[in-house]
Amino acid sequence: MFKAIVSASTLRDALDSVSVLVDECKLRLEEDELAIRAVDPANVGMVDLALEAAAFESYEADGGVIGVNLNRLEDIVGMANSGDLVQLELDEETRKLHIQIEELSYTLALIDPDSIREEPDIPDLDLPAEIVLEGAQIGRGITAADMVSDHIRLRVDTDAEAFFIEAEGDTDDVDLKLERDDLIDLQSGPADSLFSLDYLKDMNKAIPSDAEVRVELGEEFPVKLHYEFGEGMGQVTYMLAPRIQSD
């Protein structure tokens, strides 16, 4: 059983954060939240999303799992104006999702959840450094790095108490230095890892520029990016595996 009403913009933010990594996923319809966890086909990036029942106008669910084509679902939700409410209701008989947006109703065929790729083991990491900053600041670093390279280096200088976003191209280099005062918070620790911009660019697309982003970082370890949406009642964590720095 699943029946929910949610604002179009909240649902859109939720779907966008997942669709940057995968084009189909499982929605876990827990009693107290809607949850999605998905790993990209190359096992490099992961998204973990929770949207609390309180984020919905109304929410009833009993722990079922459904599989959806995200692009299709995004297209449908894209038909709504930002103030609109979206009604979702699962038809258990036909295994289809009824979507009602104002006078528009849509019946979405679901995907067998078993046919969706199982996510591999996800590391449980305790990372030494934590940087809290605005989405816009990360976006600025990523945009600058993208001008010169397809990789980005994130590091914390424990002496200077600063967070660096750097990129090295064939000819040109980019450096963005954010000191403690530029950041919302900084827990300094040894942290220096290289990441693929392909993934980070996509993740950045979903991060609202005014969101507070908590970055967990280590040395040659995956990075974790946490942020909230839906007035704090939706939480997203991205995890991205590093590239080897030796080259």
- Chain contacts with another protein (rule: CB under 8 A): 19, 22-23, 39-46, 69-72, 75, 117, 120-125, 149-151, 168-170, 196, 198, 220-222, 239, 241-244, 247
d(CA 237, CA 226): 4
Please say which residue, 122 or 160, places its beta carbon nearer to another protein.
122
Half-sphere exposure of 81 (CA within 13 A, CB side): 4
| Bridge partners (DSSP) listed for residue 131 | 186, 215
Min dist. Cβ of residue 42 to another protein (A)? 3
Give whichever of 195 and 227 is closer to another protein, judged by the CB atom: 195
Q: How far is the CB of 92 from another protein (least distance, A)?
A: 25
Query: Is beta strand 223-229 parallel, antiparallel or unpaired with respect to 212-217?
Result: antiparallel
Closer residue to another protein (CB): 69 or 187: 69
Q: Provide, rounded to whole angstroms, the least separation between the CB of residue 107 and another protein.
A: 17
Residue 24 Cβ vs another protein, minimum distance, rounded to whole Å: 8
Tell me the C-alpha distance between 210 and 221, whole Å: 27
> Left if phi > 0, otherwise alpha if psi is -120 to 50, otherwise beta: which for 161?
left
In the complex, the smallest distance separating the C-beta of residue 221 from another protein, rounded to whole angstroms, is: 7
| Residues ≥6 apart with Cβ < 8 Å to 6 | 51, 55, 56, 57, 59, 85, 86, 88
Residue of 71, 68, 104 whose CA lies nearest to 86:
104
CA angle, corner 175, sides to 179 and 160, nearest 5? 30
**Secondary element (H or E) of residue 204:** helix 197-206
Residue written as token pair 């945009």:
143
C-beta closer to another protein: residue 125 or 160: 125
Which is closer to another protein, CB of 114 or CB of 210?
A: 114
The residue among 172 and 179 lying less far from another protein, judged by its C-beta, is 172
Strands 58-61 and 24-29: unpaired
- Is the CB of 22 or the CB of 36 nearer to another protein? 22
Q: Least distance (Å) from another protein to the CB of residue 201?
A: 12
State in angstroms the smallest separation of the CB of 108 from another protein: 13
